[in-house]
Amino acid sequence: MVMESLTGVEKFPVADLTGLREELLHANLDSWQAADVISNYLVTRGYGVSATGARSSASRLESTGYSVERMREEFEKLAMVA
């Protein structure tokens, strides 16, 4: 299921999430480093994010193999409009 805003534009396009997933999988990052990558991804798209929330999300995502759908769900919860 694709989550779209009221304007019909995806908040987190599959292509972007797939690229991020590949980066997270192949960079051999620990959960703190993965949280920094996730935070950067969200911040560059205009969202605020708490460091604690990013670390929790990174740990949950790591345990699920960084599924694109799971990433979208996590980011929908984690992203705060800045």
Query: How buried is residue 7: exposed, middle or buried, by Cβ count under 10 Å (0-12/13-18/19+)?
Result: exposed
* Domain contains 53: yes
Name the residue range of residue 29's domain. 14-81
Q: At residue 8, what is the residue type? A: G
Indicate the number of domains in the chain: 1
* Domain contains 7: no
Q: Per-residue pLDDT averaged across 21-48, rounded?
A: 95
* Domain contains 2: no
Q: How many CA within 13 A on the CB side of residue 52?
A: 0
* Domain contains 3: no
pLDDT at residue 53 above 60? yes
So what's the pLDDT on residue 20?
Answer: 97
Average pLDDT value over all residues in the chain: 89
How do residues 63-78 score in pLDDT, each as one tens digit?
999 999 999 999 999 9
pLDDT at residue 1 above 50? no
**Secondary structure class of 30 (helix, strand, coil):** coil
* Domain contains 1: no
pLDDT at residue 4 above 80? no
